[in-house]
Amino acid sequence: MSLSPALVADVGGAQAVGPGLALAVASALALLGYVWVGLLRAGVLEGDAVVRRPLRSVPPMALGWTAQFAALFIDISGYGLTTPGARFGFAPALSMTIWLVLTVYLIESRFLPLHSVRRVLAWLAAAAVLLAWSFPGESRPLAASPWAPLHWVLGLASYGLFGVAVLHAALMNRAEARLRQKQAEPGGLPLLQLERLTFQFVAAGVGVLSLAIFLGWWFTPTWHWDHKNLLAVLGWLVLTGLLVGRRIYGWRGRRATRWLYAGAALLLLSYAGSRFVLEVILQRGVNGGGA
């Protein structure tokens, strides 16, 4: 006895409703939390001073952060797929990167005055959630190697670390500009502390990215210099050159941040950019465009 094609289609559709609904609910809750934070005022006037009240944004930020993690888990884990495997694509990669940056920010903001970027990060996270909801990952039932999941995790972790470094570099540039204009930012981090944190995250990102690239080269039977690998190695060279220039020549300020922005942009184009072109512009899936 065999099932009719119509019945098989009905069963498949019913199986797809559950994961799709779960992803929609988690994404909607994340959007609600982040938009709530984005619409909150950074502070209130009391006399002539602006008093910041970051605690007002803690519950909605916690809601957005938790719901975004749930959406990422539902999407990337391949929950509800008929064949075991994972799902991934450019939009979940961007969403995971922003989520990692936000995670580090939430930890840091408990000890350091970083409330000035809370609303910006909330809007970026909302955009990332909306993008990942609109372009969920593609099914990847088979990995090239048992080491492939570790390679992907390390790659995402390096994305997050460089994202945090870029955030600190932007804060450093703003603090430097205010110093040039002799306008001190109330409650801001000292410039030297921002600089130290920026290079610490760059160094950690380079270390993790080195492991990711090495694993990718090691378990891939036929390594070839496609656009993804070439951009990843170029980004690694630029960011490693930044650390070398910092160590030998004492690079700092705008010269250092320009190198950081260039390296981070190359890495962003390496996976997220190339997958965006393949998935959205060229409409080619995993089988047509490679992983």
In 124-235, DSSP assigns E strands to: 138-140
**pLDDT beyond 60 at 13:** no
Mean pLDDT of the region 34-38: 93
Beta carbons within 10 angstroms of residue 137's beta carbon:
23
Which pLDDT score, from 0 to 100, does residue 42 have? 54
Which pLDDT score, from 0 to 100, does residue 11 have? 40
Task: Give dist(CA 45, CA 33) in Å, integer.
Answer: 25
**pLDDT beyond 50 at 268:** yes
Mean pLDDT of the region 244-257: 91
Longest dimension (CA), the chain: 82
Q: Which of 47-61, 98-112, 136-150 has the lowest mean pLDDT?
A: 47-61
Percentage of the chain lying above the pLDDT 70 cut: 75
Residue 19 — very low, low, confident or very high, per pLDDT cuts 50/70/90?
Answer: confident
Q: What is the pLDDT of residues 153-174, one digit of tens each?
A: 888 899 999 999 999 999 898 8
Which pLDDT score, from 0 to 100, does residue 8 have? 40
Q: Burial-class residue 88 by CB neighbours within 10 Å (0-12, 13-18, 19+).
A: buried
Q: What is the pLDDT of residues 172-217, one digit of tens each?
A: 988 888 777 766 555 567 788 889 999 999 999 999 999 988 887 8
DSSP conformation letters of 97-150 = HHHHHHHHHHHHTTTS--GGGHHHHHHHHHHHHHHHHHSPPEEE---SSTTHHH
Task: Give dist(CA 202, CA 168) in Å, integer.
Answer: 10
The whole-model pTM stands at: 0.79
